[in-house]
Amino acid sequence: MYQYRMDEPRGHRPSWFTVIVVAVIAGLIGSMAGIYAYPKLFPAKNTKIEYTLPQTPEVKTAEYSYTPVVAVAKKVSPAVVGISNIAPGGFFGLGGLEEKSSGSGFIISPDGYIVTNNHVVEGAYELYVSLADGRQMKAKIIGTDPRADLAVIKVNAKNLPVVTLGHSSTLQVGELAIAIGNPLGKEFARSVTVGVISALNRTLTYESGEKSLRLIQTDAAINPGNSGGPLCNAKGEVVGINSAKISIPGFEGMGFAIPIDEAKPIIEQLINKGYVTRPWLGIAGAEISEQEAQYYDIPQGIYIEGVVEGGPADKAGIQAKDIITAINGTKITTMAELTDELFKHKPGEKIKVEVYRLKEGKKYTLEVTLGEKPRE
């Protein structure tokens, strides 16, 4: 039996520190070997990640739900034309022909009748019309009416696209209004602007002092080249003829159009006769305001300053200093109301005029046979 003696030499045993150091070194060596060997044992593919935008499914045109404005533009624009007013230019007109003005118009018949403003074609030596299909054609004036600022011209063509005429009498303030025209000539042909019907029955006073017919007010942008172009409703019907805008610094969104119901009978006369005949009463008058009527204790209406000798009013017994208060039972307080009532009738028709005779303090109802207003 082997016995252990205290004086016998012991074998050398490593310390804990040594063991830990050796383990760490061995781990590092193993890791480095693994890193070196892994790509060789398991080669990686060289991939690049690319970002792509999310794709929106393409929608065919036929499936797209058009807004009213898009539909109106597609329907009406082919019948909208540009009009160039050509006149002699330079000193005393010796500078050759040049474009005096430009505007817009719209085709109302397949054989080439076009409606526009009188001021677009006024003083023209030659007229040229630019169609939506790119053709440029010479046009002739069929008839003009400076009073209403309307004109009809014609090109020699067939099978042209036409507009649909609507009714301005059914318009309501706030409904959609779409203007189409050439605001700066053919470079901006058939521009579409959108707004609403801002007001109805507006009256403007021209530089000559004469008042306009009742107009439609809109905030759809109407610029000089838009004159004569159509103002449309949401159905694509022409309800007005763009005519003017307020050009005062600081004022925007105040354009005006001639109501189509007012324009229709004028257009028909221009096509059929080349001019417009209007009923004529044969008086010169002034409005009596409500305040004046109260102050002087007289009826509100049209004070007759003078009567044309031998005219319709004179023949019916109407006298100077009479006050017209009603026509056919409709109260009259302004010149615009008087004009509206007269224009409901034709020359030769009879109307009943109610007057208040100041010098007698009595009311009379007189029958007047309307005459034809002398042409200027």
Active site residues: 119, 149, 227
What number of other Cβ atoms are within 10 A of residue 59's Cβ? 9
Classify 351 as helix, strand or coil. Answer: strand
Q: Which residue do the tokens 């609507």 mark?
A: 166
Classify 262 as helix, strand or coil. Answer: helix
Q: What DSSP letter does each residue of 200-216 carry, written as one string? A: EEE--B-TTSPBPPPEE
Cα–Cα distance, 104 to 241 (Å, whole number): 10
In angstroms, how far is the first alpha carbon of the chain from the final one? 157
Cα–Cα distance, 170 to 174 (Å, whole number): 12
Classify 271 as helix, strand or coil. Answer: helix
Of the CA atoms within 13 Å of residue 345, those in its CB half-sphere come to 21
Q: What DSSP letter does each residue of 181-201 carry, written as one string? A: E-BTBGGGTTEEEEEEEEEEE
With 0-12 CB in 10 A as exposed, 13-18 as middle and 19+ as buried, what is 318?
Answer: buried
